[in-house]
Homo-oligomer: A and B are copies of this chain.
Amino acid sequence: MVDENIEKVSIPSLRRLPLYYHYMKILKKRKVDYVSSTKIAEKMNLTPIQVRKDLSITGVKGRARVGFNIKDALEKIEEFMGWKDKKDGILVGCGDLGSALLGYNNFKNYGFEIVAGFDVDEKITGTEIHGKRIFPIDRMENLCKRLHIKVGIICVPSKSAQKVAERMIDSGIEAIWNFAPAALEIPNDIALHQEDMAASLTILFKKHRKNR
C-alpha cells in the first residue's frame, strides 16, 4: 500500500520523469531538437548519470555528443507513464479541494478524466462544478458499475474517508487516490495512493532546514 517498488521502477524515478517531460516540452516549443543529459541534469540539480538512468527506463536512448531526440523522448515518456491510455474516474467530496480537482484541466494531458462528482450535501448535488455533474453519494455504485469506472478520488474529511473507500470498493473501484489525511484499511488488491500534504510540507521544511 506504500510507495516502494512498482514494476522495479523506483518512485523517485517516476517522480522525476514528468519533470524531464515538462522541460523537454518547453524546449520543443523553442524548436530545440536535441538535449543532453548534462543539460537536463544541470537544470534539475541531478547528475547526468541519474538522468540517463531514469530516461533509460522508458526506452529513451541518447546519442553521444548529440543527446536525446526530444520528440522521441516525449513520446516514450508518455507511453511509459501510461498517459496515452484513457482512464475515467469519479471524485467524492466536492468541497474546495474536490472542486479544484474537478477543474484541474491538466489531468487530460495524462489521459485521465473525472466524469462525475459525488457529495452528501444537498445544496451541491444536482449542480455542476467546472462542467462536472455532482450526484448524491447513493448514486455512486450504479454509475460506477454502469460506466465501468475503476478510479476513485477521496476528498472528504478524514472521519468519513474509510466509509467512502469501502463504498467505492463495493462500486467496483480498483484504484483509490486518497487526499484525506487518514490511513485507509483496504484489501491488498486495491491500488492506493495516499496524497499527504503533511508529508509534502515536512519534506519541504526538512530541505529548507538543511540549506540553512
Contact = CB atoms under 8 A, between A and B. Distances in A.
Interface of A: 1-4, 6-7, 9, 11-12, 14-19, 21-23, 26, 43-46, 81-83, 85, 87, 95-97, 99-100, 103-104, 106-107, 109-110, 112, 130, 150-151, 158, 174-177, 181-183, 185, 188-212
A211 B190 CA distance: 7
Given A204-B193, A205-B175, A2 B15 contact: yes
Contacts of A210: 6-7, 191
Contacts of A23: 183
A206 B31 CA distance: 32
A167 B60 CA distance: 35
Nearest to A176: B204
B202 A2 contact: no
Contact of A45 (B1, B46, B106, B207): B1
Given A6-B206, A44-B183, A106-B197, 16 more contacts: A2-B12, A2-B15, A2-B19, A18-B202, A22-B158, A45-B188, A83-B198, A96-B96, A96-B103, A97-B100, A106-B198, A110-B197, A112-B201, A176-B204, A191-B208, A195-B200
The 9 residue pairs across chains A and B that have the minimum distance between CB atoms:
A191-B207, A96-B100, A191-B208, A193-B204, A175-B208, A1-B45, A100-B100, A97-B100, A18-B198
B207 A110 contact: no
B6 A110 contact: no
B174 A212 contact: yes
A173 to B, nearest CB: 10
Contacts of A193: 200, 203-204, 207
